[in-house]
């Protein structure tokens, strides 16, 4: 049996790697996971009733592109959040969570050739791993752009060479970013969108953490593109209820883009996509229409970040993230630190290098661990103190 060459260089996924690193060792205390970014705050209480009401829809094939009511709810949300009008019928696609869309959009929009050669798909490094698989599946080559302390923990696409930019077909950006919680400000988006127009590439904005911020709502790619008058087909934004509403199991998100790009996404989905089940679409519409629970959720994360600042604030290299729900903590070696935490305290964190790749400028994840602030506050507190005592005392 032959297997595809294009996926042969993919490393093992982060979580099996973590199990291989830790599970042959006994935990040094009561096990506690800060390794996985699975939201654990309560989802809105009206969800259960809304689901029960919508049950009869299990009797029907769901609308592939999203039920009109869900698309309308999303359109209203985009207008309220970003002040941008998107046509629900032609510019929005309901997704089974953003991961599905981040992958499928690469297949739908990446051209076969760019600047006479294999297209490149630029992405931050470290990054959410689906970006690289989307690129590979589309026959493109990932271009890893290191996001380091020096670059404000965002990829500096403006530092790429003219030739690299010409070869680039798509640039993924994650803002707020996983793992660092960095936020792309309006100037960042303006610079990237200017490059995208000049070098003719798409911008895929993974904004699934957009509602988990501490003080200021992060600006969105479509918002800035609209203000600049950039071709809306150049920009695809991705949003999710997983983090905003603590519903990772609902598998509900959306993509929004200009009508021509969206038509391509919809065409591929009509053949190969798996629509979100009808009752879940009905629930999702109600969740997008409610902001009260989002405000409460944000306050819970803000309190955890305040606690993290109290624990680590005196460390010279500590960066207090403005958004997201991870800490990205500098250590001499991420794997050694994760193993030490597990064997001495029972705490699981992710070595940063499991989210990053080697480049000729080094591997920007190696000297970090990622800790998720998703557990109940008392557990997060215990975990933070373990990290402080075990790694920084």
Ligand X SMILES: Cc1ncc(COP(=O)(O)O)c(C=O)c1O
Contacting residues toward ligand X, per CB under 6 A: 37, 97-99, 128, 174, 178, 206, 208, 240, 242, 248, 253
CB 355 within 8 A of CB 126: yes
CA–CA dist 236, 184 (Å, integer): 16
Residues 6+ apart with CB under 8 A from 151: 159
Task: For the CB of residue 116, give the shortest distance to ligand X in the complex, in Å.
Answer: 32
Cα 324 to Cα 74, 177, 214, 373, distances in angstroms = 21, 7, 9, 9
Nearest to ligand X of 138, 174 (CB atom): 174
Query: Is 167 within 8 Å of 141 (Cβ atoms)?
Result: no
Which is closer to ligand X, CB of 65 or CB of 206? Answer: 206
Question: Shortest approach of ligand X to residue 370 CB, angstroms?
Answer: 10
**Nearer Cβ to ligand X (300/385):** 300
Instruction: Tell me whether residue 251 or residue 382 sits nearer to ligand X (CB atom).
Output: 251
Minimum distance of ligand X from residue 179's CB (angstroms): 8
Least Å from the CB of residue 258 to ligand X: 21
Least Å distance between CB 161 and ligand X?
A: 27
Residue 150 DSSP class: G
Of 201 and 204, CB closest to ligand X: 204
Tokens at residue 93, please? Answer: 């696609």
Closest distance to ligand X from the beta carbon of 13 (Å): 12
Q: Which residue is nearest to ligand X (CB)?
A: 97
Locate the DSSP E strands across 42-160: 92-95, 120-125, 141-146
Residue 11's contacts (CB-CB under 8 Å, 6 or more residues apart) are 17, 357
Cβ proximity to ligand X: between 206 and 335 the closer is: 206
Distance CA 105, CA 138 (A): 10
Cβ of residue 313: shortest distance to ligand X, in angstroms? 25
The nearer residue to ligand X, 128 or 368, going by C-beta atoms, is 128
Cα 291 → chain centroid: 21
**Cβ neighbourhood burial of 202 (10 Å; 0-12, 13-18, 19+):** buried
């Amino acid at each position: 049996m032959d297997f595809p060459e294009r996926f042969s260089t993919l490393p093992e996924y982060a979580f099996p790697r973590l199990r291989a690193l830790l599970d042959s060792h006994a935990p040094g205390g009561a096990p506690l996971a800060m390794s996985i970014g699975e939201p654990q705050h309560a989802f809105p209480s009206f969800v259960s009733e809304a689901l029960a009401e919508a049950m009869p829809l299990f009797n029907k094939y769901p609308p592939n592109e999203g039920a009109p009511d869900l698309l309308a709810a999303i359109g209203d949300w985009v207008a309220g959040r970003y002040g941008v009008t998107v046509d629900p019928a032609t510019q929005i696609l309901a997704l089974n969570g953003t991961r599905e869309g981040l992958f499928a959009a690469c297949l739908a929009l990446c051209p076969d050739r760019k600047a006479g050669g294999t297209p490149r798909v630029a992405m931050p490094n470290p990054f959410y791993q689906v970006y690289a698989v989307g690129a590979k599946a589309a026959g493109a080559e990932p271009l890893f752009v290191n996001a380091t302390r020096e670059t404000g923990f965002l990829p500096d696409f403006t530092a790429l060479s003219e030739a690299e930019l010409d070869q680039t077909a798509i640039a993924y950006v994650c803002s707020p970013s996983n793992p660092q919680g960095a936020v792309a400000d309006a100037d960042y988006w303006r610079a990237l969108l200017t490059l995208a127009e000049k070098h003719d590439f798409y911008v895929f904005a993974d904004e699934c953490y957009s509602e988990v911020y501490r003080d200021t709502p992060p600006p969105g790619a479509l918002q800035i593109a609209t203000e600049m008058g950039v071709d809306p087909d150049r920009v695809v934004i991705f949003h999710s209820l997983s983090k905003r509403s603590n519903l990772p199991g609902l598998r509900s998100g959306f993509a929004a883009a200009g009508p021509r790009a969206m038509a391509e996404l919809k065409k591929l989905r009509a053949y190969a996509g798996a629509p979100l089940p009808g009752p879940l679409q009905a629930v999702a519409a109600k969740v997008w229409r409610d902001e009260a629970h989002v405000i409460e959720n944000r306050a819970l994360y803000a309190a955890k970040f305040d606690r993290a600042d109290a624990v680590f604030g005196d460390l010279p290299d500590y960066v207090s993230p403005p958004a997201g729900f991870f800490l990205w903590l500098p250590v001499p070696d991420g794997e050694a630190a994760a193993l030490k935490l597990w064997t001495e305290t029972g705490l699981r964190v992710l070595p940063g290098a499991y989210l990053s790749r080697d480049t000729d400028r080094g591997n920007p994840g190696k000297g970090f661990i990622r800790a998720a602030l998703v557990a109940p506050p008392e557990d997060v507190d215990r975990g933070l103190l373990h990290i402080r005592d075990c790694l920084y005392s």
